[in-house]
Amino acid sequence: MTVSAKSDMQDAGGHASAVPKKVYKKTLGDLQIELVKLQRHFIACNDKILIILEGRDAAGKDGTIKRIVQHLSPRETRVVALGKPSDRDRSAWYFQRYVPYLPAAQELVLFNRSWYNRAGVEKVMGFCSPAEHEAFMNSVLDFEKMLAASGVKILKYYLDISKAEQQRRLEDRKASPLTQWKSSPIDGQALKYWKAYGAARDEMLARTHSPMSPWTVVHADDKRLARLNIIKDMLDRLHYAHKDKRLTRPDHKVVFSYDPSNLKAAQLAK
């Protein structure tokens, strides 16, 4: 294989991908045209769409969101990535700080992490009490049921990466002057608490997956494959006019509906 051929199979960080760069760019461009069609449709129909992306640190949430919103109208598209809760936030109803950011009619909102922080980071790092965690787990599906009843279409994605891939990405993030801003003290704990995060993930998926707001799992070690298939899955599951169904069929080896058998079959990173 020539040097140019090798680079064509590598992502922007110089890491291997199953998707050649030219194929990736062409497919992504075609899917972004479909996303514009989707936006025209949900604006015309007053739809409310909420996309939740969860996953370990460096799972690829930022990059995926960037490609989704790249060519969409910013007036009807919002990305929500909330920081550390204030003292007031901590004293309020847990879901209260998220409610102002929910989509109104004609809007697409993407949560880069969401209320599921309480099921993951907060639980593992001790930022909430066991009682607060349990209260969240017992109420989150009721909260999402209310959202669905109000017309919000909810899609929940969990981006799953291997321990080796997370370590590589965190090291790359820290070394690059363009991504150092993403680094945080929590990053340093991600690998130390790998098993605890895995146990929290397993409990979250098992207890908060429902027919009304199901979880979709994404094998995300290959960034290009993950991004393309998340967008395909979104387009496949949401109704809009003039859909090109040849483009929107996801690879179900990459993106698939959560099922308890996923854990038994070792389909999630351990």
pLDDT in tens, 134-159: 999 999 999 999 999 999 999 999 99
Distances (CA, A) of 119 to 15, 89, 196: 31, 17, 11
The whole-number pLDDT of residue 66 equals: 98
CB distance 52 to 83 below 8 Å? no
In a domain, 12, yes or no: no
Residue 176 above 80 pLDDT?
A: yes
In a domain, 92, yes or no: no
**Domain of 137, in residue numbers:** 17-83+98-264
In a domain, 91, yes or no: no
How many angstroms separate the CA atoms of 39 and 104, rounded?
A: 14
In a domain, 32, yes or no: yes
How many angstroms separate the CA atoms of 113 and 242, rounded?
A: 31
In a domain, 64, yes or no: yes
Residue 184 above 70 pLDDT?
A: yes
Structural domain tally of the chain? 1
In a domain, 123, yes or no: yes
Instruction: Give 190's DSSP letter.
Output: H
107-112 and 48-55 strand pairing: parallel
Residue 3 above 50 pLDDT?
A: no
Report the chain's mean pLDDT, rounded to a whole number. 94
In a domain, 5, yes or no: no
- Name residues whose C-beta falls within 8 Å of residue 267's C-beta, 6 or more positions apart in sequence: 217, 256
In a domain, 186, yes or no: yes
CATH at residue 219: 3.40.50.300
7 confidence band (pLDDT: 50, 70, 90)? low
The whole-number pLDDT of residue 74 equals: 96
